[in-house]
Amino acid sequence: MLRQAVLDQPVPSVEHRRRAIEATPLPANMGALIDAAAAAAPDRLAWNFFESGETMTFAGLRVAVNRLAAGLAAAGVRKGTHVAVMLPNVAAFPLTWLALARLGAVMVPMNVAYTPREIAYVVEDGDVEWAVVDATCLAGFAPPPGRLAAERIFVVGEATPGHRAWETLGDGQPDDFAAPEPVGHDDLLNIQYTSGTTGLPKGCMLSQRYWLQAGLVNARRDGRDYERILAATPFFYMDPQWLLTMALWLRATLFVARRQSATRFMGWVRERRIQFTLFPAIVVKQPPDLRDPDNEIVRVNVYGLPKHEHAELERRFDFVAREAYGMTEIGSGMFMPIEAVDMVGSGSCGIPSPFREARIVGADGRPVPPGGEGELEIRGPGMLHGYYKNPEATEAAFHDGWFRTGDLFRQDARGYFHIVGRIKDMIRRAGENIAAREVEAVLGALPEVREAAVVPVPDPVRGEEVKAYVVLQPGLTRDEVPPERILGHCAAGLARFKVPRYLAYRDAFPKTPSEKIAKRLLVQGESDLRTDSWDRVEGRWR
């Protein structure tokens, strides 16, 4: 069995691996990491977008990044310039990101599902000066008036009159490029927008050091080398970005899917002989196949896997599956060592990652003893610099230099950390973080809605679904304001994955003494939160 062969392979102790990782000198910047990979493995494939056939060697990657960086500089992009990138999974996305890194500019990634309202918010809040947009997204790309002239939008694909073609940026540019200004570890590389408890997304300021460390930690923490890595989620999310950085450290090939697919996922794994990937929970729901154990996976990362399913997952697919814990703000926070066989099925997230310390504190801010529950706090170098233009949120996120995760944890007697729940008012649907407050704000903008409250509903496939409760304006009934009216309004202002699946009407909401909606009381006594709700997917009342 491949799984047993992996576990039998001797590796240095996890403590030794941690010390070795933390002692590894970081390249001067992401551009230097590309140079090192190109020098060490020039003819090896850096990536393979296997559904479109876009491939590139490490040597070719270095040249393409340099030419694109030079073209961007010639166009007027400078160190510190904020550039929005709204692309699906095409090679232009990582090329643009790495070229901006080489230049010292800052990428502001955008979900291709964003509505004009969400696009306008990110462009305005993120001080976006230039944009790289896929031709298929251009019709809906609506920055605030006066923010982005047409000539400052580079289009990937067929450009419309007035815009500039991304594909021509590198034409005539040299194979070598030196950034006009020095680029260092603590220079910004991303403003990565993530949903928060305040409702509106917050821009996490992530440095070159953040990405260099994230790639190094994931490349080396198992004590094993990986040659073929799979990325199946969009590049505007965190995972493909750190998976690419991991591949650069390992001189491995990153295989990139156009979009995630539960039915095709294991076929990709077999055909591409994948050795490391993130394993989507939705794949587990697929019917068992005799070919399931026919793969070359050494390890998969799983997140929030029900502990009673862990051992069966490993048996069915004959691979090593280990929990991990991370956030946009902290990068890799925890991991379960690959050799910790006795922790399979424990539900634990493991131990702090290299460069990270963790503690659990009570409501008084003091550490709790092992076995006690409290908020997880993380600290260490290479975390977010703060939230862009949001000093209040930045200050609230830190406690004496520790980042407050908003997650409820406990630590067992052996030092392993276990997640208990979430303190933050969030819904996590199929890997997406959705702030209840943002959905509530959109619902509240509908004139017929007086109040709205949004809660998560457990779902066996997507983890959680979004449910909205509404109180209508006095005198109105649900026949006069039907679900189609409310959910259609949501669809116009929210990305599709944020639109509530379930909708329920109430005459009034329970309130706290300070007149806030008491969500705990709102759902109290409901054994099935789907009951007496309109189901948008099934188009019926439950």
Interval 49-104: pLDDT, tens: 999 999 999 999 999 999 999 999 999 999 999 999 999 999 999 999 999 999 99
**Nearby residues of 495 by Cβ (< 8 Å), 6 or more positions away:** 111, 113, 114, 115, 118
**Widest pairwise Cα distance in the chain:** 72
Cα angle for residues 337, 343, 345 (degrees, 5° grid):
125
* Nearest-10 crossing angle of helices 14-23, 208-220: 150
Query: Contact, 19 vs 220, CB < 8 A?
Result: no
Here the tokens at position 366 are 């003091």
The per-residue pLDDT for range 151-160, each reduced to its tens digit, is 999 999 987 8
Name residues whose C-beta falls within 8 Å of residue 396's C-beta, 6 or more positions apart in sequence: 404
Domains and CATH numbers, the chain: 2-407 (3.40.50.12780), 426-541 (3.30.300.30)
60 φ/ψ angles, rounded to the nearest 5 degrees: -65, -35
Q: Are 229 and 343 in contact (CB under 8 A)?
A: no
The model carries a pTM of: 0.86
Tens digits of residue pLDDT in 373-416? 899 999 999 999 999 999 999 999 999 999 999 988 999 999 99
The mean per-residue pLDDT over the stretch 307-327 comes to: 94
How many whole angstroms separate alpha carbon 444 and alpha carbon 199?
12
Which three-class secondary structure state does DSSP give residue 43?
coil
Q: Is the pLDDT of residue 471 over 60?
A: yes
Q: Which residue do the tokens 């509404």 mark?
A: 470
Residue 472 — very low, low, confident or very high, per pLDDT cuts 50/70/90?
A: very high
% pLDDT > 70, the chain: 98
How buried is residue 227: exposed, middle or buried, by Cβ count under 10 Å (0-12/13-18/19+)? Answer: middle
Average pLDDT of the residues in 4-32: 95
Q: What average pLDDT does this structure show over 16-39?
A: 98
Q: Other CB atoms closer than 10 Å to residue 451's CB: what's the count?
A: 17
**Residue 422: pLDDT over 80:** no
pLDDT tens for 330-344 read 999 999 999 999 999
Cβ-based burial of 172 (10 A; exposed 0-12, middle 13-18, buried ≥19): exposed
Q: 58-75 vs 30-40: helix axis angle to the nearest 10?
A: 150
Phi, psi of 495 (to 5 degrees): -60, 150
CB-CB contact of 108 with 191 (8 Å):
yes
pLDDT band per the 50, 70, 90 thresholds, residue 198: very low
